[in-house]
Chain A
Amino acid sequence: MVHAFLIHTLRAPQAQDTGLCRVLYSCVFGAENSRDDPRPHGAERDRLLRKEQILAVARQVESMCRLQQQASGRTPMDLQPQSSDEPVPLHEAPLGAFRLAAGDPFQEPRTVVWLGVLSLGFALVLDAHENLLLAEGTLRLLARLLLDHLRLLTPSTNLLLRADRIEGILARFLPHGKEGTIRWLQDVWPG
């Protein structure tokens, strides 16, 4: 069961000191059982916590991705696509997983599977004991669909204002956080 899906920026290794890691889109499926909070503004606090949890995940993913890239000796220059028409070879994109301990930042222990495509990071936050092969396939599929349908490689497009598309893709391929329909691209997807 997927707890959350997020898309965030990945800064080039040298540029890590400038700017911040930004979460461009996030979707949390269901909510963690919040502790009974009799104080007012409990709902706001819950939302704030949720946003900060997601940001914490994004930062860790960015750092893991950067470390993996550095370790394999690849420079950011290797990753620029030749042209925006060429499909990005997702099978070579950096991919990894790591565990989040209970309380840091989610109440329960969770696993994060991440994929880095050029300057965007995609991540799934899963329960601690998930079928990671399935999660990996789902993540690659989502990234492929989003890159293709939102044409994210052309400089002018902006995924910040395409929430309906992203929601549509998620509703079909990761409904309520349930993976499983990780294929059948030929089936109807409104273009």
Chain B
Amino acid sequence: MFTAGAESLLHQAREIQDEELQKFCSRVVKLLQKDDPGPDAVDALQRLFLIVSATKYKRKLEKTCVDLLQTTLCSPKCPEQLQFLCAAILRERSPADNLSLSWDHIQSSQQLSLVASVLLAQGDKKEEVRSVGQHAFRVLESRQPEGPSLRHLLPVVSKITHLAPHTLHEDQTNLLSKRLVDWLRYASVQQGVAHTSGGFFSTPRARQPGPVTEVDGAVATDFFTVLSTGQHFTEDQWLNVQAFSMLRAWLVHSGPQGPSAPDADDKSELEGSTLSVLSATSTASHLLPPQERLREKAFEYCQRLVEQSTRRALRKGDADLQKACLVEAVLVLDTLCRQDPTFLYRTLSCLKALHARLCGDPARARALLPIAQFFLSHGEAAAVDSEAILQHLFTRVPCELFHSPMLAFEFVRFCGDSLPLFGRNLDILKRSFPNLFKLLAWNSPPLTSEFVVLLPSLVDAGSAVEMLHALLDLPCLTAALDLQLRLSPAASERPLWDTSLRNPSCLEASRDPEFQALLQHLLRAEASGTVQRLAPLHELLRPMTGCARVVQCAEAVPTLLQAFFSAVTRFADGALTNQLVLVLLERRDSLYQVPQYEDRVHRVLSSQLLALCALHPSLVVDLAKELLEFVGSVSSVHSRGAMLAAVAWAVGEYLSVSWDRRCTVEQITRFFEALEALLFEVTQSRPSAALPKCPPQVIAVLMTTLTKLASRSQDLIPRVSLFLSKMRTLAQSPALSSVHGEEDAGAICTRATELLTLLKMPSVAQFVLTPSAEVSEPRYHRDANTALPLALRTVSRLVEKEAGLLPG
């Protein structure tokens, strides 16, 4: 484990000076030049590796040292340990400009593989990838299929395919395809012998190893695959496993390149037909060209894997391998069907049966995802209805398995990656958002960024309101899921709920039928189209607000709300915007009380409120009644500063005839009176522990709004002027400055003065405070007759002149 000793070792390795390092390099050179390097050389190289790798900056090693490392790596007599270390050091220094490995003569393929790893780390500036690939293929061509150590070479080939597929010629591709067929299909079915022999006294007779077995212990019934087990394995069995692991990537690389492929027309015909007698039987495989033959054998291999996955494994490790291989097999089948639709008929029946088997087995739920993806990709072509499969996937799996972080991640990734394939089935995805939110609520740190990308596809005009409520209640959902796990624990070795909180008091209380109904709504699997007030549930689940998982979810919600609103504002019309604003107003004080959650959500909601008002200014008039209620409710001030400021600002900006002709003087007056009363109360009352002080920004916004309203209904001007001068006096008084501080009180005073001055010229006030929409046109500001600065200057000069003309 990482101890103080290790920390200091790391520190030393980083701090070693150049001079000392050069001395060390000379020592390394001496040790490596000996005929029999020995453990000292190993030790020295281990230290050198640490020195090179410990720092992200380049370490200057002597040229002789580097050259010797390269020579040692390529030398045929080099012991394995030293090979590994030289390769590791050279790779750590990569990319390096002065690399010169002479590797043509190397016979051992393990050594070749190590050299390749160094070359591939250079970043392909000198076409290293191509030369490594060519070299590997030369070795491949020259050996027999059962060659001694090809298994070190195959991963290199696989890597080259991945990095630079265009460097391979057609005959090389064909060669490898042929070899892969041999390894996949014709590997030995007898177990290998142990490598270590008994020594001098052992009898030469070795026990016959016997045939390989299946994972459930039965003797192997067919050809060898990655799911066959045994005590020891032969070389070709290793190659079988490696061939399978690179199969998918190789099929993609060597498959038809695109629309210009020669058989494309024939294939598209077949794709249109459903059951074709021709496709039901496979062509005699030895007549096929290499790629087609490989596909045929790959298909057989995958079918065998699917069959082998039905067996009950004796060991847990094998059960895990079964699942992984099953997923891989489905992915390979998907690739095969893409490349050659004639496989489709045979694959469909196999996968439908597989799906039916997996449905009832929660331990294998992750394998349902690639199957669903397969049906989404190929369902159209085969006229198969993928709806039932998706329905099962979206309604059952998240409910039962939200607590598995890997399943949750893969599920959400599946949704994101398969979006273009959903087509008609997109409703199923959208309807299931409550279930998807369970995955998010339980596993918020890794899934938040995934959902930010996914949300725009989940939300539409019909579900926006319900989804907004669901997002605001997300931390409550987390708590409810935790509660659910405690009440009906899943069969698992260790508790899945938060073990730091034992027996919360809400456990018993939640059995009450009233709460049960609310919990059922919160934990619903599909969008219900209705909204329920969950305030009693917030209260019930209060003991869980401190749980780490709930807190983590609460921290993610503001980001999700931003994503939600940026998606919704793209399509929301006036009616939907009104509904959303009503939700914002209603939920401002009906949130699950996780510490700091309310503040953070209010900040987002207030900025979104303004954005929504900017999009549909007439909502201020539409929702005048509700906004007035909001302003009038006393408790709205003290802890809702952000929301109140936003509402006041919106009212000030948009409550005018120029935005909506329905705006009446009565409305303006009513708002004026409500805001005036509110401001009065705010400034008169003393702050206490229960009612914290009103932020000065809110005071300023309220004053500005009152002025704006007055500028539109000029009867109110005397009232507001009086109020503002009272505010100014108050701001200068010691009472206010003791509450808000000197600076803030000064700012309030300044704002009050500015507003008062503006109100002295009512028409200018109107012009400034209620500009018409043309103000945003640049022409408005360039045109000498209408520009605002010019107008203000003119006015102030006139006022001064007037003042000068007046006596006294």
Residues of A within 8 A of B547 (CB): 71, 73
Q: A136 CA to B122 CA in the complex, in Å?
A: 28
User: Are the C-beta atoms of B155 and A178 separated by less than 8 Å?
Assistant: yes
Q: Looking at the assembled complex, report how far the CB atom of A166 sits from the nearest CB atom of chain B, in whole angstroms.
A: 8
Q: A34 CA to B226 CA in the complex, in Å?
A: 36
Q: A31 CA to B117 CA in the complex, in Å?
A: 10
Whether A155 sits at the interface, judged by CB under 8 Å, is: yes
User: Are the C-beta atoms of B445 and A167 separated by less than 8 Å?
Assistant: no
Residues of A within 8 A of B194 (CB): 188
Whether A162 sits at the interface, judged by CB under 8 Å, is: yes
Q: Mark B110-123, 1 if CB is under 8 A from A, else 0.
A: 10011011001111
Task: Specify the chain B residue showing the minimal Cβ separation from A154.
Answer: B1
One of A98, A118, A140, A163 near B50 (C-beta < 8 A): A163
With A175-B113, A176-B116 already in contact, the answer to whether A97 and B405 are too (CB < 8 A) is yes
Whether A24 sits at the interface, judged by CB under 8 Å, is: yes
User: Are the C-beta atoms of B9 and A31 separated by less than 8 Å?
Assistant: no
Residues of B within 8 A of A33 (CB): 123-124
Whether A72 sits at the interface, judged by CB under 8 Å, is: yes
Whether B668 sits at the interface, judged by CB under 8 Å, is: no
Residues of A within 8 A of B195 (CB): 188
Residues of A within 8 A of B120 (CB): 29-31, 176
Q: A99 CA to B244 CA in the complex, in Å?
A: 26
Q: Tell which of A46, A98, A137, A188 has the most Cβ of chain B within 10 Å.
A: A98
Q: Looking at the assembled complex, report how far the CB atom of A142 sits from the nearest CB atom of chain B, in whole angstroms.
A: 14
Residues of B within 8 A of A107 (CB): none
Residues of A within 8 A of B331 (CB): 131
User: Are the C-beta atoms of B410 and A31 separated by less than 8 Å?
Assistant: no
User: Are the C-beta atoms of B46 and A71 separated by less than 8 Å?
Assistant: no
Q: Mark A14-56, 1 if CB is under 8 A from B, else 0.
A: 0000010010111111111110000000011011100110010
Q: Mark A150-183, 1 if CB is under 8 A from B, else 0.
A: 0011011010111110011001000111111111
Residues of A within 8 A of B446 (CB): 64, 96-99
One of A73, A162, A178 near B500 (C-beta < 8 A): A73
One of B7, B53, B85, B549 near A26 (C-beta < 8 A): B53
Q: A8 CA to B609 CA in the complex, in Å?
A: 45
Interface residues of B in 149-172 (CB under 8 A from A): 152, 155-156, 158-159, 162-163
Whether B327 sits at the interface, judged by CB under 8 Å, is: yes
Whether A145 sits at the interface, judged by CB under 8 Å, is: no
Q: Mark A76-96, 1 if CB is under 8 A from B, else 0.
A: 000000000000000110011
User: Are the C-beta atoms of A98 and B46 separated by less than 8 Å?
Assistant: no
Task: Specify the chain A residue showing the minimal Cβ separation from B9.
Answer: A160
Q: A64 CA to B409 CA in the complex, in Å?
A: 13
One of B56, B158, B249 near A176 (C-beta < 8 A): B158
Whether B543 sits at the interface, judged by CB under 8 Å, is: no
User: Are the C-beta atoms of A181 and B241 separated by less than 8 Å?
Assistant: yes
With A43-B96, A43-B97, A97-B409 already in contact, the answer to whether A72 and B498 are too (CB < 8 A) is yes
Binds A, one of B317-325, B339-347, B512-520: B317-325
Residues of A within 8 A of B91 (CB): 27
Q: Mark B68-88, 1 if CB is under 8 A from A, else 0.
A: 000000000000110011011
User: Are the C-beta atoms of A180 and B245 separated by less than 8 Å?
Assistant: yes
Interface residues of B in 353-370 (CB under 8 A from A): 366-367
Interface residues of B in 90-114 (CB under 8 A from A): 91, 93-97, 110, 113-114
User: Are the C-beta atoms of B47 and A31 separated by less than 8 Å?
Assistant: no
Q: A51 CA to B241 CA in the complex, in Å?
A: 32
User: Are the C-beta atoms of B56 and A180 separated by less than 8 Å?
Assistant: no
Q: A43 CA to B125 CA in the complex, in Å?
A: 10
Given contacts A70-B548, A175-B156, A178-B159, 10 further A-B contacts (CB under 8 A): A9-B2, A34-B123, A72-B499, A96-B405, A131-B331, A160-B13, A163-B84, A163-B88, A168-B84, A176-B159
Residues of B within 8 A of A131 (CB): 324, 327-328, 331
Q: Mark A112-142, 1 if CB is under 8 A from B, else 0.
A: 0000001110000000010111101100100
Q: A142 CA to B125 CA in the complex, in Å?
A: 32
Count B interface residues, CB 8 Å. 99
Q: A9 CA to B4 CA in the complex, in Å?
A: 12
User: Are the C-beta atoms of A176 and B113 separated by less than 8 Å?
Assistant: yes
Whether A102 sits at the interface, judged by CB under 8 Å, is: no
27 pairs from A and B in contact (CB 8 Å cutoff):
A31-B122, A31-B124, A46-B95, A46-B123, A64-B445, A68-B445, A70-B552, A71-B547, A74-B499, A99-B409, A132-B406, A136-B324, A137-B321, A140-B320, A160-B50, A161-B50, A163-B85, A164-B84, A167-B87, A168-B84, A176-B156, A177-B155, A178-B245, A180-B242, A181-B245, A182-B324, A183-B317
Q: A119 CA to B7 CA in the complex, in Å?
A: 13
Task: Specify the chain A residue showing the minimal Cβ separation from B446.
Answer: A98
One of B43, B155, B232 near A187 (C-beta < 8 A): B232
Whether B3 sits at the interface, judged by CB under 8 Å, is: yes
Whether B423 sits at the interface, judged by CB under 8 Å, is: no
Q: How many A-B residue pairs have CB under 8 A?
A: 233
Residues of A within 8 A of B491 (CB): none
Whether B758 sits at the interface, judged by CB under 8 Å, is: no
SS of A interface (majority): mixed
Whether B296 sits at the interface, judged by CB under 8 Å, is: no
User: Are the C-beta atoms of B449 and A101 separated by less than 8 Å?
Assistant: yes
Whether A146 sits at the interface, judged by CB under 8 Å, is: no
Residues of A within 8 A of B175 (CB): none
With A47-B94, A133-B327 already in contact, the answer to whether A153 and B1 are too (CB < 8 A) is yes
Q: A51 CA to B7 CA in the complex, in Å?
A: 19
User: Are the C-beta atoms of A171 and B123 separated by less than 8 Å?
Assistant: no
User: Are the C-beta atoms of B320 and A133 separated by less than 8 Å?
Assistant: yes
User: Are the C-beta atoms of B498 and A175 separated by less than 8 Å?
Assistant: no
Q: A99 CA to B117 CA in the complex, in Å?
A: 26
Whether B493 sits at the interface, judged by CB under 8 Å, is: yes
Q: A33 CA to B158 CA in the complex, in Å?
A: 17
User: Are the C-beta atoms of A73 and B405 separated by less than 8 Å?
Assistant: no
Q: Tell which of A1, A92, A175 has the most Cβ of chain B within 10 Å.
A: A175
Q: Mark B299-342, 1 if CB is under 8 A from A, else 0.
A: 00000000000000000111011011101100100000000000
Can you list the 3 inter-chain pairs with the closest CB atoms, starting with the nearest?
A180-B245, A73-B500, A51-B56
Q: Mark B1-15, 1 if CB is under 8 A from A, else 0.
A: 111011101100100
Residues of B within 8 A of A55 (CB): 56
Q: A74 CA to B498 CA in the complex, in Å?
A: 8
Residues of B within 8 A of A97 (CB): 405-406, 409-410, 446
Q: Tell which of B94, B117, B244, B449 has the most Cβ of chain A within 10 Å.
A: B117
Residues of B within 8 A of A64 (CB): 445-446
One of B81, B125, B152 near A175 (C-beta < 8 A): B152
User: Are the C-beta atoms of B549 and A71 separated by less than 8 Å?
Assistant: yes
User: Are the C-beta atoms of B405 and A68 separated by less than 8 Å?
Assistant: yes
Whether B238 sits at the interface, judged by CB under 8 Å, is: yes
User: Are the C-beta atoms of B324 and A133 separated by less than 8 Å?
Assistant: yes
User: Are the C-beta atoms of B552 and A186 separated by less than 8 Å?
Assistant: no
Whether B494 sits at the interface, judged by CB under 8 Å, is: yes
Q: A91 CA to B493 CA in the complex, in Å?
A: 10
Q: A158 CA to B87 CA in the complex, in Å?
A: 21
Residues of A within 8 A of B43 (CB): 161
Q: Tell which of B1, B195, B245, B405 has the most Cβ of chain A within 10 Å.
A: B1
Q: A75 CA to B110 CA in the complex, in Å?
A: 44
One of A43, A67, A119, A136 near B2 (C-beta < 8 A): A119
Residues of B within 8 A of A187 (CB): 232-233
Residues of A within 8 A of B276 (CB): none
Q: Looking at the assembled complex, report how far the CB atom of A27 sits from the nearest CB atom of chain B, in whole angstroms.
A: 8
Residues of A within 8 A of B323 (CB): 133
User: Are the C-beta atoms of A22 and B10 separated by less than 8 Å?
Assistant: yes
